[in-house]
Amino acid sequence: MQPVRLLILGTGGMAKNHAEHFAAIPGVTLVAGIDTRPEQLAAFRAAHDIPHGFASVDEALAWGEFDAVTNVTPDAAHYATTLPLLAAGKHVLCEKPLATNAAHAQEMAAAAARAGVVNMVNLTYRNVPALQQAARMVREGAIGDIRHFEASYLQSWLTQPAWGHWDREPQWLWRLSTRHGSKGVLGDVGIHILDFATFIAGMEATQVSCLLQTFDKAPGGRIGDYVLDANDSATMQVRLANGALGTVAATRFATGHLNDLRLRLYGLKGGIEVRFEKGISALRACLGEEDIREGRWHDVDCPPVPTVYQRFIAAIRGEGPAEPDFARGAALQVLLDKAEASAGQDGKLLAV
């Protein structure tokens, strides 16, 4: 078994998940962490038994005793921190979105291709068994040519303190402020639902129309240093490569839904419905002449799938594909940029 020495870049909330998952993989050693905040870095290293710590990517590269990096920095830092790692020949798993604009994302994808290293984006819902089974069914022609789809990503953390008080904690407040690097719900979870829909459908989007809304959430639109100007809700109309039409919605105001994804795909030979609610995925299908005639749906068994952390290490060891890669992340960023541009033109339909 090939040993892998892993460095964790960024020690915020998501970094804990990365550290725990990677530490559980045989042959993986957490060797270092990077953070500009010395106290937080020290606490993180102590919690996860990480021997080395650095204040910058440059310091870590000067040391150099690591094979791969998981980049868990805020969105706006992905571009600047990832490029030197690629240039140094390090394998990189980067949190989504890959960058905050398509030009940077495409540059990162090109740099990764030149470097010839394993490069992956953490689109976490690729880990959902129902998503992977639905994608297999579509590839095998189970529902025939797709004609229509409906997708949604529903969160409620702006209406209930399920994960904490959004108006008091920096880990939530930065997500509401463009000055702190947030692209709003469109960039934060819109990327997931767009990947969710187009990956299962097996086709890219060719046109998009989008509306975004930011709601008043505090007097003067700010809390302390945080100007609350990032979008809170997004609705999109999307055309796929074969002409199929669909709607995509994402919001942080879906009261009663903590973190739920839904997708319905309808084809000429049947339909499928994917749900991921309260951490549990489910897949239903309506297939065959009799079921279609009677409108009957049945549950579909979904085998477990490896996590993105396991897939990243497997790819480094040459035991599996590096998916989703930076090229996929860049393609999604193009779609996100087009959606944002459409919203700036009152929902004008734009080619992707």
Report how far apart, in Å, the C-alpha atoms of 278 and of each of 74, 150, 245, 275, 283 are. 25, 20, 28, 10, 15
Query: How far, in Å, CA of 53 to CA of 9, rounded?
Result: 10
- For residue 82, what are its two tokens? 């990832």
pLDDT in tens, 230-287: 999 999 999 999 999 999 999 999 999 999 999 999 999 999 999 999 989 999 999 9
Using the 3D structure, point to which of 124, 157, 174 is the last residue of a domain: 124
Nearest Cα to Cα of residue 306 among 128, 161, 164, 168: 128
pLDDT in tens, 153-209: 999 999 999 888 999 998 899 899 999 888 899 988 899 999 999 999 999 999 999
Check whether residue 43 and residue 151 sit in a common domain: no
Using the 3D structure, point to which of 287, 304, 321 is the last residue of a domain: 304
CB crowding 54-71: b at 16 or more within 10 Å, else e: beebeebbeeeebbbbbb
Residue the block writes with tokens 């959606």: 339
Check whether residue 112 and residue 153 sit in a common domain: no
Using the 3D structure, point to which of 82, 102, 124 is the last residue of a domain: 124
* pLDDT value, residue 320: 95
Number of domains in the chain: 2
Q: Could you tell me the sign of the dihedral formed by the alpha carbons of 120, 274, 197, 258, in that order?
A: negative
Determine if the pTM surpasses 0.75.
Answer: yes
Domain CATH code at residue 258: 3.30.360.10
Check whether residue 211 and residue 245 sit in a common domain: yes
Query: How far, in Å, CA of 206 to CA of 330, rounded?
Result: 15
The answer to whether 186 and 194 are in contact (CB under 8 A) is no
Residues of the domain holding 71: 4-124
Check whether residue 89 and residue 224 sit in a common domain: no
Backbone angles phi, psi at 312, to 5 degrees: -65, -50
